[in-house]
Amino acid sequence: MWFVNAIFNISIPIARGIIGFFILLWIVLLDLLYTLANLILPRKRQIPAVWNEYIPPMSTDSRSPCPALNALCNHGVLPRDGKNVTLRDIAVAVNSHYNLSITTCELAVVLLAQELQKGLDDKIEMSSIATHNCGEHDASLVRRDTYFQPDQSTPDKELIQEFFSSLKDGKRVTRADCRHALTARLTNSAHTNPQFSLLSTHVLIAAITAAHLIDTFGGDVSVLEPFLLDERIPEGWMPVTRDRLGLTFTRHGLDAIIIYLGINPSWRAVKFQG
């Protein structure tokens, strides 16, 4: 991923955009190859990643809106204070501990690098990912909208419990559960938030995030409760995806699109009621 740093050394915006496009295209094509290779390669029997002791963050620590990244900090995989972290560090940690493919991790950090105007080896704080409508968006399943809660670093336990209470069987999250929960959150945010702002890409991001609850955690509520409420990984947990080259965004994207297409579009017609 060294070439991502080179993008930001190009002073001409058009040239930077063209090169960035071809880098993303290369990652997408490579991901397709990884997806095909996973069909014939033997699956991993286990994920040999080590989760260190869980220590809740202190008030001075920096955290993001993403439970998965925060869990990596809380367990000391990434710096516990959430500071002086590089995007390269994030990609490596997510690949090794959640078994997401290198291509999935590369795509995520390349897009994030472009949003933050940072190179892969530039030091950042986890809170920098909380820029509204960048990594963070309205109608999250685990955070109140920025209008109601500017601090997006901590999970909203009431909102998360509402999500678990909405599950059909209460023990496992399904695609249908995600579709219904996202529809409810989108409708509620559009109705109550006077500054509600959401593009279709943000709705897709929300669907991708929801799909991870199934593809990475198997939808298991006994695992998801500590993960979402405390951003903690239970002892002995391993990702349910054991693909040899990791979970590709081609495969994961199919689940996300199914969830996305199942969201009731009626929320778009909802108007703010003060």
Domain assignment present for 202: yes
Domain assignment present for 24: yes
Inter-CA distances, 72 with 8, 19, 97, 133, 166, Å:
27, 31, 8, 23, 28
Domain assignment present for 203: yes
Inter-CA distances, 238 with 98, 146, 161, 221, 252, Å:
8, 32, 24, 14, 17
- The enclosing domain of 148 has a CATH number of 1.10.489.10
Nearest to 171 by CA among 225, 235, 252: 225
Phi/psi for 172 (5° steps) reads -145, 135
Give the Cβ contact number of residue 2 at 10 Å.
9
Query: Is the pTM value of this prediction over 0.85?
Result: yes
The number of distinct structural domains making up the chain is: 1
Domain assignment present for 135: yes
Task: Tell me the pLDDT band of 10, cut-offs 50, 70 and 90.
Answer: very low
Q: What pLDDT is stored for residue 215 in this prediction?
A: 97
Domain assignment present for 74: no
Domain assignment present for 77: no
Q: Is the pLDDT of residue 200 over 90?
A: no
Task: Tell me the pLDDT band of 92, cut-offs 50, 70 and 90.
Answer: very high
Task: Tell me the pLDDT band of 49, cut-offs 50, 70 and 90.
Answer: confident
The model's pLDDT over 96-133, given as tens digits with 9 standing for 90+, comes to 999 999 999 999 998 888 888 888 899 999 999 988 88
- Cα gap 78→227, rounded to integer Å: 16
Tell which phi-psi region holds residue 71, choosing left (phi > 0), alpha (psi between -120 and 50) or beta: alpha
Q: What domain range includes position 141?
A: 2-47+100-118+127-269
Domain assignment present for 80: no
The residue assigned the tokens 């929960």 is 181
Domain assignment present for 181: yes
The model's pLDDT over 215-226, given as tens digits with 9 standing for 90+, comes to 999 999 999 999
